[in-house]
Structure 1
Amino acid sequence: MRPQTLWLQLQSRIDLLLKNLADGCSSPHGLGSMSTCCYDTAWVAMISKETNGKREWLFPSSFEYLIGSQTMDGGWGDGASDIDVILNTMAGLLALKNHQLTPGHSNVLQSDLDDHIRCATSFLENKLQTWDVESTDHVGFEILVPTHLRLLAEQGVTFTFPGLETLINLNQTKLKKFFPEILYSKIPTTLTHSLEAFVGQINFDKVKHRLDFGSMMASPSSTAAYLIHASQWDDEAEAFIRSAIEFGEGKGSGAVPSAFPITIFELTWVISTLMESGLSPTEENKKYLNIVAEYLEKHFNQQNGVMGFVPTLMADADDTAKTIISLNVLGKRVRPDRLIEVFENGGHFRTYAGERNPSFSANCNILSALLHSAEPEQYLREIELALRFLCDLHSSGDMRDKWNTCDIYPRMLLANSLTFLLQLWQNGSLQDLSKDLLLKVHIVLCEILVQTIQEQQPTGAWHNGSCEITAYATLTLAAGSNSPLAALLGEKLQSSLVYGRAFLEANISQWDKGETIWVEKVSYNSAVLSNAYCISAVQASTFTWIPTGDGLVNVPSKAVSKFAQFYSCLPLFANEPSWRLKSSLVEGFLWFPRLAARRLDIFPRTNMQEDKYLQYIPQTWTMCNSLHEGALEPDLMWEMMIIAMLNYQADEFLEAVVEEHMMDQLDAVSVLVERLCDDPIGEPLFADVDGTGKNATQSNGIYENPVSLNGDVPDMDYAEQVLRRFITYVLTHPAVVRSPLSVQRTLRRELKIFILAHLTHAEDNARFRSQSLAADRTTEFATPRSSYYSWVQSTSADHTSCPYSFNFLSCLIAKPGEPAFKGARQRYLAEDMCRHLATMCRQYNDYGSIVRDRAEKNLNSVNFPEFCEDAEKAGAGPKTVAQVEQKLKDNLMWVAEYERECCMTALDRLENETGLDTRTKRILRMFVDVVDSYGQIYVARDIASRMR
């Protein structure tokens, strides 16, 4: 129970916040808590006006603010992202140059002004040299930066930097379809918000009609550019700038924000956040909420069901969705039909027309708006569209948002939407939702929750003690607490939620200190938004999920505990926290139904016992991925789960079908494998039917019908059908096809070696079985084709599938058209590492399957003469035999540990001496651990299926 003083503080904050929102609904200036920025302030500082025949700077306080906010190193925007600093400094430097070229019109001494310019120029030169243009995803930067470079060049300040060509290409792509008439027309366009980007390219007199209450789409910089470059002065535009200075967050200091006002945005973000968290308003607060509801409803109707961030401004999907959510949670039932009609765009929803990249958060808000409608089942198609888009982005590892730079923010939005969707589904509203999609929802939600828990700091906070970001994370966990995953993730989820709230409650005085993570032309913060999220996080309601028994998600808690106990005994996971081990296993259980649904896509399961290994596949990948903090994106992890399953099945097929029934045709099968691997592959198994770029592994299967025997005994035609499917699957995978030809050839070669190694091993088994084999002790292999070292490094290591699987993974993680490993050193060490890893895995496998191999009369490492020499020295008798057997196992473990040392040495040198990138390093470590985990599992228990 909260202390009385804390409750009073919390209630006081809620009261004041809602009162200010209600007051803003009747204010002629609207609402605007967006923090000020140097970028727009610099443009305002460049406005001059002729009065009584004399031209003077109109807003000297803005220039003085600009001078005073320049950092010691010469830039503006200290601590912000690179693009923020670059844009702020470019605009600031441009304002300095304008004032320098108009002496006498500034209170700053000319010598001081020269110093400011020199420092700014030097700072910007250095910053541009290290700017990663390609990875920048900031709204509008590709049109703003080139214009500022051009305007500075006209003032005699030029810059060259490594990313300039990339920037120019982005600019040309963005403006390919632009022509001035777009702005001269009455067609709504977001370009109105950034008219400064078109200085020297448009006639500003022809855009006067775009003024809305004196502003160019509520942008001080765009409006300033209009005032500077239009031939006729506009008093309304001047009045807007004065209003932004006086009533914006600068409060008369001369500083302005990037947008003012932001009334609809502020109202809807705060109201939807508070109400979705379960706010119970007092009678006084209900009065404020009614005022807000009436205001939003009036403008929603006036704007015909679509809204912008300010009434009458150009509509966008984000503010429209938030308005729909707010009105519905306030009891004003409105429909999302116009939202769908205006903003649906193929496989997702767009924020504005012509946006370069779709917004993750906007699609989250749209999904939430659809779910909050009175009858969400009426919008099942649109719900599935948004849901697939969001789940696919999450699975690809690309959840970056264009309106907020904090990675926890989109997670919070998605967790809220997914939890609400699951609640609606359980209540019967969305019963026709795709079951496969529902499985994805559980997986995505599980990964979001686990990742968020992992990032929590010992203080209970996230992101170095930020209250706003801690609130995002706490709301994420609160959403998870209202889902079926709450019981599965157990006490850790609840304790993380408690600690997060405790941190917020202990730091209530810091709630108004918003983080500069919200994106406009440059990033900004908002005390109002920060306050709303913190309030919501500490009072968000939670409940106990009561399962309906439909069996959609079946994660047996006893099995999770049993597996966790088993894995914790393996060296690889011995130091893993219990909660993380269990949560990884929960995720593995969630992946399992999807994997099981694919088990007959390529290989038939004829004459085989239960495939016990199947449940281990998702477990090993999720546990190792957790061990390396999500090194591999879910999409790629899924692809490797499929490959791991196919490798087990290939092993089964070659043993149970080829080795069992076609031993007299092994030469013919070898020729078949050579042909299938060397000949051009036919039609790919990955049809891009709907143009989405998704391949068949992301659907329900590849073939409608599995291969079946025409008769009782497998023949060459049957073998060819199955092997062709397998080989074609691997070699026509999209990641393989887009790889360099040299990489494709290597994979083709390793795949062929893998299959042929099975056939060679079958011959070895046949020769071994022709001997007289002891049933109770290890029998020495009398006719090995080579030394044990040569055999285990070639045939036996290839038999593990590790080398070809590693090459397949290399295709998955590489950029299109590039190899994952470049140059002689990287490629040599990568192959050497993989070869030792495969050998080690085979030796661990053999260590764990000695008893099974003896029962099935298969050749094992310990059957080689090098291991059996001790047997000749030992006498007969049960005790002596047991001692000899243990000696054999000890020697096998010793050489396996030697191979481990070699593998890790190669990996260390690959990471530290070849310039390998960080992402590939993390994935390599993870892959090694996955392979290693199977070896350790085999040491502990034998998971392979046996032939019936």
Structure 2
Amino acid sequence: MTTSPAAADAGNESDMAASARELLAAMVLEPAGRVTPSVYETGRVVADAPWLTGHDRRLRYLLDEQRSDGGWGGAGGYAVVPTVSAVEALLGTLRGTQGSSRPELAAAASRGLGVLADWLGRGTPLPDTPASDLIVAALVQRINDHLTFFAARPGRGIVDGVRALPGVDRRRLDAVHALVGAGRPVPQKLLHAFEVLGPVARRHDGVSPIAGAVGASPAATAAWIGDPATPGTDPEALAYLRAAVGLLDGPVPCCTPITVFERAWALSSLARAGVPIRPVPKLIAELTAALGPQGTPTGPGLPADADTTSVALYALARLGHPVDPASLLHFDLGSHFCTWRGEDGRSVTTNAHVLEALGWHARHTSAAASRYGGRAAALAGWLGDEQQPDGSWVDRWHASPYYATSCVVAALDRYAPAGIAGSAVDRAVDWVVATQRTDGTWGRWTGTVEETAYALHVLLGVHRPAGPGVREAIGRGLRHLTETDDDHDHPPLWHDKDLYTPVLIVRAAILAVRQLALTRSDLVNDMDRAPLRPRTAVP
């Protein structure tokens, strides 16, 4: 029997509501958030906390994650940071155990050293990920120190004959050491990568863990703890570190917990698309409580930032619990908003999220219209100026231009003056249509479900006449999503010290696309809509 379009839509709406409930329940049951393992962070915990339960599992994870070329991590320069971390961890382990019974560690380290020597010798550029230049400089020094140690003890089969890695620019790292050595206050933004200081980080008097965490980072916290047998070890820091390695049963996530970040992004994605959600009061109350006069940070020990603050504000507003966005004014630089004070660089997605928060309030309250309306319009102009020649946007918090473009288009389409939004949005739509792959997906390196969802957000989410090829591109993209299980792994694309995936945030983005497909009858035909059965079951 053939299912009618109306019956199919009703079934899809029921599945949509069930999937949304499961996702919201997961955020309550797992308040730390769900992220993928980090090779970089795991390597640092192996090196700096070998006493921690699960050490052998972490070593096994590093061995299993090594690529066929000897490196670790993502494409191009994204591999450098995780590879220096893994190689240094393996060499440090061999140095501590003399390597007599660990030939697999020596083999993996030797292969990693070979590819690192090639990358560093060619000057492979590093992507704009947090503290990448500090990390590489610090770990190349540690690796070369290990090689000097082994060179003085030849004949044991441990990286025999391997030369020191090429030198790298240490100016910023030396400046950080000089600042800390002079007794100056430790900049809060440094805490997330505090491990780059090596032994200097241990029990540094200028650092006080927050909720047990140093910079919301297991690596930074492990470096600060040092030897847990030392008198005066902070029990809360130990508890944080043990909880962090317990999240993934050995391997270590990057930034954790990501409670506010995960909830804000997931809820705003669902609400923006009109997914029927009714968050339990606990979620709303905790998200509201996280917003202080200076905003909110992504995790404990990190500085408050305009990105997390603005997305939390927008999510609450869309869910009927608006909070005045005055805290965002602390990040206003005049031309645009910084992610945090003292930021090196700028972020278009941060500013897109700020535009959404300010724009919503300016549109819905008369007092906010006079206070924030002009600033929102000016910010929309800045975002338009940041558009790439091909019509896309790129950003420092995600490897894919499809994420950045979807964030900016969503903000401009709803909250920018028509004279600013129209042309920019049309150019972005044209770029998305032109870059679709033959299998219906989108992606920077290869087609992914996550990036396909962002591309479809652009095509389905804008309120402008559909141009040439839009309907056909939507149909191909949706057909790909119907053939893909939402529970499969999503390649890491988000920027921290190395690439990671915030799993529930990505699932929320995919679920939001399915909702848009149900509501945009002008762009989606029954054949493409009817099979959409959300499968975002969250165990």
Measure, in 1, the Cα distance between the counterparts of 2:177 and 2:214: 21
- Equivalences for residues 292-691 of structure 1 within 5 A: 292-300=283-291, 303-304=292-293, 306-310=295-299, 313-340=302-329, 342-373=330-361, 374-375=364-365, 377-378=369-370, 379-394=372-387, 399-421=393-415, 438-463=418-443, 464-480=446-462, 482-483=463-464, 486=465, 489=467, 492-507=469-484, 509-510=485-486, 512-540=488-516, 541-542=519-520
Cα offset, 1:100, TM superposition: 1.6
Measure, in 2, the Cα distance between the counterparts of 1:68 and 1:466: 22
Q: Which residue of 2 aligns with 1:757?
A: none
Measure, in 1, the Cα distance between the counterparts of 2:21 and 2:303: 31
Cα offset, 1:317, TM superposition: 0.8
Measure, in 2, the Cα distance between the counterparts of 1:58 and 1:271: 34
Letter in 2 for 1:241: L
Structure 1 residue 239 corresponds to structure 2 residue 245: no
Seen in structure 2, the aligned counterparts of structure 1 residues 325 and 311 have a Cα distance that, compared at 3 Å, is farther
Cα offset, 1:311, TM superposition: 5.8
Measure, in 1, the Cα distance between the counterparts of 2:207 and 2:139: 25
Tell me the number of residue pairs that the alignment of Structure 1 and Structure 2 aligns.
490
Measure, in 1, the Cα distance between the counterparts of 2:421 and 2:319: 27
Q: Which residue of 2 aligns with 1:117?
A: 109
Q: Which residue of 1 aligns with 2:159?
A: none
Partner of residue 132 from structure 1, selected from 124, 140, 144: 124
Contact 2:441 2:477 in 1 (8 A): yes
Structure 1 residue 21 corresponds to structure 2 residue 27: yes
Measure, in 2, the Cα distance between the counterparts of 1:222 and 1:317: 23
Seen in structure 2, the aligned counterparts of structure 1 residues 61 and 136 have a Cα distance that, compared at 3 Å, is closer
Measure, in 2, the Cα distance between the counterparts of 1:297 and 1:312: 19
Give the alignment's Cα RMSD to 1 decimal: 2.9
Measure, in 2, the Cα distance between the counterparts of 1:60 and 1:184: 38
* Structure showing the higher helix proportion among its residues: 1
Contact 1:274 1:533 in 2 (8 A): yes
- Equivalences for residues 58-73 of structure 1 within 5 A: 59-73=55-69
Q: TM-score scaled by structure 2?
A: 0.83
Seen in structure 2, the aligned counterparts of structure 1 residues 132 and 211 have a Cα distance that, compared at 3 Å, is same
Structure 2 unaligned runs (5+)? 149-162, 524-539
Contact 2:189 2:302 in 1 (8 A): no
Report Cα offsets for 1:36-68 as digits up to 9, x if no partner.
Answer: 01111111112357xxxxx89883332233234
Measure, in 2, the Cα distance between the counterparts of 1:170 and 1:83: 19
Report Cα offsets for 1:400-459 as digits up to 9, x if no partner.
Answer: 21111111111101111111125xxxxxxxxxx6xxxx4342111110011111112343
Q: Which residue of 2 aligns with 1:273?
A: 269
Contact 1:183 1:191 in 2 (8 A): no
Measure, in 1, the Cα distance between the counterparts of 2:176 and 2:106: 38
Please give the secondary structure, in 1, of the residue aligned with 2:20: helix
Report Cα offsets for 1:806-863 as digits up to 9, x if no partner.
Answer: xxxxxxxxxxxxxxxxxxxxxxxxxxxxxxxxxxxxxxxxxxxxxxxxxxxxxxxxxx
Structure 1 residue 290 corresponds to structure 2 residue 281: yes
Letter in 2 for 1:273: S
- Equivalences for residues 768-847 of structure 1 within 5 A: none
- Equivalences for residues 47-58 of structure 1 within 5 A: 47-48=48-49
Letter in 2 for 1:10: M
Q: Which residue of 1 aligns with 2:151?
A: none
Report Cα offsets for 1:75-105 as digits up to 9, x if no partner.
Answer: 222xx1333321111111111121122227x
Measure, in 2, the Cα distance between the counterparts of 1:128 and 1:238: 35
Q: Which residue of 1 aligns with 2:36?
A: 35
- Structure of larger gyration radius: 1
Contact 2:71 2:79 in 1 (8 A): yes
Measure, in 2, the Cα distance between the counterparts of 1:416 and 1:212: 35
Structure 1 unaligned runs (5+)? 25-29, 50-54, 423-432, 546-948
Letter in 2 for 1:474: L
Contact 1:183 1:192 in 2 (8 A): no
Measure, in 1, the Cα distance between the counterparts of 2:214 and 2:171: 27
Please give the secondary structure, in 1, of the residue aligned with 2:386: helix
Measure, in 1, the Cα distance between the counterparts of 2:472 and 2:108: 52
Please give the secondary structure, in 2, of the residue aligned with 1:36: coil
Contact 1:511 1:530 in 2 (8 A): no
Cα offset, 1:494, TM superposition: 3.1
Structure with the bigger RCO (C-alpha within 8 Å, sep 6+) is 2
Report Cα offsets for 1:707-763 as digits up to 9, x if no partner.
Answer: xxxxxxxxxxxxxxxxxxxxxxxxxxxxxxxxxxxxxxxxxxxxxxxxxxxxxxxxx
Contact 1:262 1:310 in 2 (8 A): yes
Contact 1:263 1:310 in 2 (8 A): yes
Cα offset, 1:258, TM superposition: 1.0
Contact 2:355 2:415 in 1 (8 A): no
Q: TM-score scaled by structure 1?
A: 0.48
Report Cα offsets for 1:360-382 as digits up to 9, x if no partner.
Answer: 11111111111121435231232
Report Cα offsets for 1:558-589 as digits up to 9, x if no partner.
Answer: xxxxxxxxxxxxxxxxxxxxxxxxxxxxxxxx
Cα offset, 1:207, TM superposition: 4.1
Cα offset, 1:218, TM superposition: 1.5
Report Cα offsets for 1:146-167 as digits up to 9, x if no partner.
Answer: 1111111222262127xx4xx4
Contact 1:306 1:320 in 2 (8 A): yes
Letter in 2 for 1:213: A
Letter in 1 for 2:340: Y
Seen in structure 2, the aligned counterparts of structure 1 residues 48 and 36 have a Cα distance that, compared at 3 Å, is closer
Measure, in 2, the Cα distance between the counterparts of 1:110 and 1:305: 50
Partner of residue 218 from structure 2, selected from 220, 240, 250: 220
